[in-house]
C-alpha cells in the first residue's frame, strides 16, 4: 500500500462535501475517482496533496514516496522556453553528468591512492547515472513533448506566450518526466487531441508508479484503471475493475438497494395497517398487541430511497420544421491563416437525420469548418450550401444564448411561451434539472450546467440542423449520458466536433476525419473508424494529394494507377527504412548494455583510462541512438 485515506471529512460553510471517506491505493495501481460535478473529487485531491486540510481523518503516504499533482488550472508562469522547462526537471541528472565529466578530466592528473578513491566515486556516479536513464534523458524529453502534441519547432517557444491549454500540457509533461511515485491527474485529457490522449493512455498504462485520475473521459478510464472510487452524497465507495465493470456493478447495486427499500416500505405499510386494525377492535388485548407492534416499528432503521438519476431521455425531440433530404453540401472548401493552410478542396455532404462527428488533431481546422458553415468565417475558396428548409442551431461553448439574470424555468418559458409548465419541467428534468433547481438563476450555474441548459434550448428551437462545438466539454459523466440519449432521440440532423471518443462511439452515424488537410469519410462510429483508419487514410488522403485532374477518363485512370503505384513504392520504402532503423537501434542498445556491464567489472572499474574510453563510447552510442529514435518516430508518423 502506497497511499491510504482514512475517514476523510470536509465541509465548506456548513455544507458537507466528504463524510468519512476511506480507500487505499497499492503500489503501481491505476485508479479513478468519479462522481458528478461538485461531488468533491478535486477537494479530495487537494487534501491528499496537503493543499487543503481535512476536518477529520488522515492521509498516509508511504515513507520517501513522492506525489505530483496536475490540477485543472495549473500555475506554470515562467520565462523559460518549453524545452528549458523540461531540462529543469532533469537538473539532478544534468548536474550528475557534469560531475562525471569533471571527474574524467581530474582523474587524468591523479595517481596512486587518490586515483583509486576517485575511481570508486566515478564508478558509483556512472552507475547512478545509468539507473536514472541518464544516457537517454534528452530523448525522453523529446518523446514526452511530442506525445503530448508539441512539435520540435514549439520547443523554443516561451511558456508565458502559450495558451492556457498549452500551459497545462507543459505542466503535464513536467509531471511525467519527473517520475513521481504517485501521480494525481485532474482531467488530464482536457486540451489533448485524440492522438495525444491515446499516447497518454499508453504512457500511464506502462508507468511504474501509481496513478489516480479524475476524468469524465469514459473511454480513457476503461483503457487505464483497475479500480474506481466513487464519491456520491459525500460517501466513498470502492469498486474493483474497469470503468465499465464499475458501471455494471453500480447499476446492480442501485437495483438491489431499490428492491430492499420498496420491500421495507411494503412491510412498514403492512404493519401500519395491522396496527390500525388491531386498535379498531377496541379490546385491551388487541390494543396491547398493537402497541407492541408500534414499538418494534419505531425501532426499525428506515432505509433511505436510493438516489436515482434519470439518464434515459424520455422525450423525443422533433424539429418543428422538417428539412429536405439534402441538408448540407460542401464543395472545394479551403482556408488558410497567413502561411498556414488548414485544409484545401474539402468536399462532403450531410443528409437529413444523420449524426456526423468531425474529428482530427488540434489545429487542423475543425472548429473553423463549423464557423464557415454557420457564416461566422469566410472561406478562401469553395462553397457551403444549405438544403431546402434547413435552419441552423449553433452551440459554441460560450453559451451566448443564455440570460444570466433569469431562472432556468423562465429561460425556457420566455423563449417558448406556448409550452405548458409541465412540458417545461419535463424538458428540464430530461436534462437533469429537477425540483427547486428549475428556479435557480442561470448566472449561478456551473459551466457544465449552463451547457446542459443551452443544449435543451437548442433542441427545443426551430432549428433542424444542430452544429455543436465540443458539446461534452465541462459535462460530468451523467450529463454526457443525458446528452447522448438526447442526440440519439433527436429527429433532426446533427454535425459536431468532439474529442470524446466514448460520446462519438455512442452517437455518430458517420465520422469525418480532418487529416493531411483532407477529409476522410467513415461510414460508422468510432470503433469502425479505429478499424478502418489506417487503410482509408492511406487510400484517400494520399490519393487526393497525388491526384491531377484530367479531361480524359482514360488518362485519369492511368494517373490514378500511377499515383497508387508511386504511393505503394513510397510505403514499401518507408517500411524498409523503418525496419533498418529498428535493427540499428537494437544493435546499438545491445552494445550499450554490454558496455555498461563491462564498466561495472572490478578489473575495469579501477582502470581510469579504460573507464574514460568506455564512457566516451557510450556517449557516442547515446548520441546515435537519439538520432535513430527521432528518425524512427518520423518514419512511424509518416
Residue where a domain stops, chosen among 117, 148, 174? 174
Is position 504 within any domain?
yes
Domain co-membership, 540 together with 564: no
- Cα 22–chain centre separation: 26
Euclidean distance between CA atoms 475 and 35, whole angstroms: 11
pLDDT score for 448: 75
Is position 448 within any domain?
yes
- 3-class SS shares of the chain: helix, strand, coil, % to 5: 50, 20, 30
Provide the H-helix boundaries in 439-552: 447-460, 477-488, 501-507, 526-536, 542-546
Is position 527 within any domain?
yes
Is position 564 within any domain?
yes
Domain co-membership, 558 together with 620: yes
Domain co-membership, 484 together with 573: no
C-alpha cell at 368: 473553423
Euclidean distance between CA atoms 489 and 5, whole angstroms: 42
Residue of 453, 323, 342 whose CA lies nearest to 391: 323
pLDDT score for 542: 65
Domain co-membership, 423 together with 523: yes
pLDDT score for 626: 73
Is position 149 within any domain?
yes
pLDDT score for 554: 45
pLDDT score for 28: 93
pLDDT score for 279: 85
pLDDT along the chain (638 residues), means of 10: 96 93 96 90 95 96 94 77 93 92 88 88 91 90 94 91 87 94 93 89 94 93 95 94 92 88 91 87 84 91 74 61 93 92 93 95 90 93 94 77 90 91 87 88 84 84 90 83 86 93 94 92 92 86 46 45 61 76 82 80 76 83 78 64
- Give exposure, 384-410, as e/b (b: 16+ Cβ within 10 Å): bebbeebbbbbbbbebebbeeebbbbb
pLDDT score for 482: 82
* Beta strands per DSSP E along 62-190: 67-70, 182-186
Domain co-membership, 504 together with 612: no
Q: How many domains does the chain have?
A: 3
pLDDT score for 637: 55
C-alpha cell at 600: 561495472
Cα-based distances in Å from 71 to 205, 206, 328, 632: 20, 22, 41, 33
For residue 94, the number of C-alpha atoms closer than 13 Å in the C-beta half-sphere is: 9
Residue where a domain stops, chosen among 143, 174, 205? 174
Tell me if 243 sits within 8 A of 221, measured CB to CB: yes
pLDDT score for 172: 94
Domain co-membership, 523 together with 561: no
Residue of 255, 190, 180 whose CA lies nearest to 211: 180
Is position 318 within any domain?
no
- pTM to 2 decimal places: 0.71
pLDDT score for 86: 94
Is position 168 within any domain?
yes
Is position 535 within any domain?
yes
Tell me if 317 sits within 8 A of 486, measured CB to CB: yes
Domain co-membership, 557 together with 538: no
Domain co-membership, 417 together with 561: no
Range of the domain at 479: 326-546
Helix 137-147 × helix 82-89 angle, to 10°: 130
State the Cα angle at 242 between 468 and 234, rounded to 5°.
80
Domain co-membership, 535 together with 564: no
CATH number, domain with residue 351 = 3.40.50.300
Residue of 257, 243, 318 whose CA lies nearest to 480: 243
Domain co-membership, 530 together with 565: no
Domain co-membership, 520 together with 584: no
Residue where a domain stops, chosen among 118, 151, 174? 174
pLDDT score for 548: 39
For residue 119, the number of C-alpha atoms closer than 13 Å in the C-beta half-sphere is: 23
Domain co-membership, 536 together with 587: no
Amino acid at each position: 500500500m502506497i497511499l491510504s485515506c482514512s475517514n476523510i471529512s470536509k465541509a465548506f460553510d456548513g455544507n458537507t462535501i466528504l463524510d468519512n471517506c476511506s480507500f487505499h491505493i497499492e503500489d503501481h495501481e491505476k485508479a479513478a475517482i468519479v462522481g458528478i460535478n461538485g461531488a468533491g473529487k478535486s477537494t479530495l485531491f487537494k487534501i491528499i496533496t496537503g493543499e487543503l486540510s481535512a476536518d477529520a481523518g488522515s492521509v498516509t503516504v508511504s515513507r520517501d514516496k513522492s506525489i505530483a499533482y496536475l490540477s485543472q488550472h495549473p500555475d506554470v508562469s515562467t520565462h523559460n522556453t518549453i524545452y528549458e522547462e523540461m531540462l529543469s526537471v532533469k537538473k539532478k541528472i544534468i548536474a550528475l553528468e557534469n560531475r562525471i565529466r569533471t571527474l574524467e578530466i581530474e582523474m587524468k592528473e591523479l595517481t596512486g591512492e587518490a586515483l583509486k578513491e576517485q575511481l570508486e566515486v566515478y564508478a558509483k556516479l556512472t552507475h547512478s547515472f545509468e539507473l536514472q536513464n541518464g544516457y537517454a534523458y534528452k530523448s525522453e524529453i523529446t518523446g514526452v513533448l511530442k506525445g503530448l502534441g508539441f512539435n520540435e519547432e514549439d520547443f523554443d517557444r516561451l511558456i508565458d506566450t502559450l495558451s492556457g491549454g498549452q500551459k497545462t500540457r507543459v505542466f503535464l509533461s513536467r509531471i511525467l518526466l519527473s517520475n513521481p511515485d504517485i501521480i494525481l491527474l485532474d482531467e488530464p485529457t482536457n486540451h489533448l487531441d485524440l492522438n495525444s490522449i491515446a499516447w497518454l493512455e499508453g504512457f500511464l498504462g506502462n508507468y511504474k508508479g501509481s496513478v489516480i485520475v479524475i476524468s469524465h473521459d469514459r473511454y480513457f478510464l476503461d483503457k487505464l484503471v483497475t479500480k474506481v472510487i466513487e464519491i456520491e452524497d459525500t460517501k466513498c465507495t470502492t469498486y474493483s475493475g474497469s470503468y465499465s465493470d464499475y458501471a455494471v456493478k453500480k447499476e446492480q447495486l442501485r437495483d438491489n438497494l431499490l428492491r430492499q427499500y420498496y420491500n421495507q416500505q411494503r412491510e412498514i405499510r403492512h404493519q401500519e395497517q395491522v396496527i390500525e386494525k388491531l386498535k379498531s377492535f377496541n379490546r385491551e388485548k388487541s390494543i396491547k398487541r398493537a402497541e407492541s407492534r408500534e414499538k418494534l416499528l419505531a425501532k426499525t432503521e428506515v432505509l433511505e430511497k436510493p438516489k436515482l438519476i434519470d439518464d434515459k431521455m424520455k422525450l423525443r425531440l422533433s424539429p418543428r420544421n422538417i428539412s429536405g433530404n439534402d441538408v448540407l453540401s460542401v464543395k472545394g472548401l479551403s482556408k488558410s491563416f497567413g502561411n498556414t493552410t488548414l485544409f484545401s478542396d474539402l468536399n462532403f455532404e450531410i443528409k437529413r437525420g444523420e449524426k456526423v462527428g468531425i474529428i482530427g488533431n488540434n489545429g487542423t481546422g475543425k472548429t473553423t469548418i463549423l464557423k464557415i458553415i454557420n457564416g461566422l468565417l469566410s472561406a478562401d475558396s469553395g462553397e457551403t450550401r444549405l438544403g431546402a428548409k434547413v435552419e441552423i442551431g449553433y452551440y459554441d461553448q460560450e453559451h451566448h444564448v443564455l440570460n444570466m439574470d433569469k431562472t432556468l424555468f423562465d429561460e425556457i418559458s420566455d423563449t417558448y411561451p406556448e409550452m405548458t409548465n409541465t412540458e417545461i419541467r419535463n424538458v428540464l428534468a430530461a436534462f437533469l434539472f429537477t425540483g427547486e433547481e428549475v428556479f435557480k438563476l442561470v448566472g449561478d450555474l456551473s459551466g457544465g450546467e449552463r451547457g446542459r441548459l443551452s443544449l435543451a434550448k437548442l433542441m427545443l428551437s426551430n432549428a433542424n440542423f444542430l452544429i455543436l462545438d465540443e458539446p461534452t466539454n465541462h459535462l460530468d459523466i451523467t450529463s454526457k449520458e443525458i446528452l447522448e440519449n438526447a442526440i440519439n432521440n433527436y429527429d433532426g440532423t446533427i454535425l459536431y466536433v468532439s474529442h470524446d471518443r466514448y460520446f462519438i462511439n455512442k452517437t455518430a452515424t458517420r465520422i469525418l476525419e480532418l487529416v493531411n488537410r483532407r477529409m476522410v469519410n467513415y461510414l460508422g462510429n468510432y470503433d469502425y473508424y479505429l478499424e478502418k483508419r489506417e487503410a482509408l487514410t492511406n487510400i484517400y488522403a494520399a490519393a487526393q494529394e497525388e491526384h491531377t485532374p484530367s479531361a480524359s477518363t482514360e488518362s485519369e485512370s492511368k494517373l490514378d494507377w500511377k499515383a497508387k503505384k508511386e504511393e505503394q513504392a513510397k510505403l514499401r520504402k518507408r517500411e524498409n527504412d523503418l525496419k533498418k532503423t529498428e535493427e540499428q537501434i537494437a544493435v546499438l542498445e545491445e552494445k550499450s548494455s554490454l558496455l555498461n556491464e563491462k564498466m561495472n567489472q572490478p578489473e575495469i572499474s579501477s582502470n581510469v583510462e579504460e573507464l574514460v574510453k568506455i564512457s566516451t563510447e557510450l556517449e557516442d552510442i547515446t548520441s546515435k541512438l537519439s538520432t535513430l529514435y527521432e528518425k524512427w518516430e518520423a518514419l512511424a508518423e509518416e
